[in-house]
Amino acid sequence: MAGNLVEQLLVLEEEQVLADIRESLEKGEDPLALVEALREGMTLVGKSFEDKEYFLSELIMSAEIFKEAIALIEPHLGSDAGPSRGKVVVGTVKGDIHDIGKNIVVTLLRCDGFEVYDLGVDVPPEVFVSKLNETGATLLGLSGLLTFAFDSMKETVDSLVEAGMRDEVKVIIGGGPVNEKVVEFAGADAYGVDAAHAVKLAVQYVVA
């Protein structure tokens, strides 16, 4: 079923995607496999858009289908019961409005017991700093898909330094073009290769 989801999302079959997810969940299929299929489908949609095979309207529609699908899956990923693993502030940095990858990370973090403060997209450095101060979170997740977002990541980390918070807050960055060189440039601690890896890093860094 997961394999079908990839193709159905790629051709924007909204009703079929949601129907198949409901059926898969009723059958007890692995919800994480469904999330991965949706992620793979969105990757293909993104490539089609880059190759000018899809228009912006199709990209927007695919994102809406994705969000509806995740909303169905999320209750099956885990329980909110029990003590919090820790607090995490997450957002897409200033100048970037991509949020699919961020949303997957947020979903998985919450299902793994983290208290997540999702600031959305196009978030200025000072807003991240303010939220960290307000919540006492010890981990910051910065997302960016566009290469010029790297400067915003660096500005955000620099703002933490200026606020005297850098030693208390670990910074994980993520996004398609992010690698070790970007980690070094931005002054971050690590980057998530994918959503599951980002959660592993969170478990490693955050102390409740």
Dihedral of alpha carbons 103, 109, 112, 115, sign: negative
Task: Please say if the pLDDT value at position 81 is more than 70.
Answer: no
Q: Give the pLDDT band (50/70/90) at residue 82.
A: low
Give the pLDDT score at 17. 94
Give the pLDDT score at 43. 77
Task: Please say if the pLDDT value at position 12 is more than 60.
Answer: yes
The overall average pLDDT reported for the chain is: 89
Task: Please say if the pLDDT value at position 153 is more than 70.
Answer: yes
Which pLDDT tens digit goes with each residue over 83-129? Answer: 678 999 999 999 999 888 898 888 888 877 899 999 999 999 999 99
Which pLDDT tens digit goes with each residue over 170-180? Answer: 999 999 899 99
Give the pLDDT score at 174. 95
Portion of the chain with pLDDT greater than 90, in percent: 54
Displacement of CA 17 from its chain's centroid (Å): 21
Domains of the chain are: 2-76 (1.10.1240.10), 86-205 (3.40.50.280)
> What is the Cα–Cα distance from 96 to 116, expressed in whole angstroms?
20
Which pLDDT tens digit goes with each residue over 33-49? Answer: 898 888 888 878 878 87
Task: Please say if the pLDDT value at position 79 is more than 60.
Answer: no
Cα dist. 48→57, 65, 139, 176 in Å?
A: 12, 16, 34, 15
Task: Report H helices in the chain.
Answer: 2-10, 14-26, 31-50, 56-73, 100-111, 125-135, 149-162, 180-186, 195-205
Give the pLDDT score at 208. 44
> What is the Cα–Cα distance from 8 to 24, expressed in whole angstroms?
14
Cβ-proximal residues to 198 (8 Å cutoff; 6+ apart), any chain = 105, 108, 109, 141, 172, 174, 192
